[in-house]
Amino acid sequence: MKKIGVLLSGCGNMDGSEIHESVLSLLFIDKAGATAVCMAPEMTQTETVNHPKGETTGEKRQVLAEAGRIARGKIRPITDVNVENLDALIIPGGAGPIKNLSNYAEKGADLEVRHDVTMLIRAFYTAGKPIGAICIAPVVLAKALNAHSPTVTIGDDATTIENLKTFGASHEAQPVDGICIDEANKLVTTPAYMCGPGIADIAPGIEKLVNQVIAMTKG
This prediction has a pTM of: 0.97
Catalytic residues: 135
Quote the pLDDT of residue 41.
Answer: 98
Number of domains into which the chain is organized: 1
CA–CA distance, 17 with 95 (Å, rounded to integer): 7
Distances (CA, A) of 174 to 25, 77, 171, 181, 182: 19, 32, 9, 11, 13
Residue 130's contacts (CB-CB under 8 Å, 6 or more residues apart) are: 88, 89, 124, 186, 187, 188, 212, 213, 216, 217
CATH (domain of 154): 3.40.50.880
- pLDDT above 90 covers what percent of the chain? 97
Residue-number span of the structural domain to which 167 is assigned: 3-215
Residue 59's contacts (CB-CB under 8 Å, 6 or more residues apart) are: 48
Quote the pLDDT of residue 166.
Answer: 92
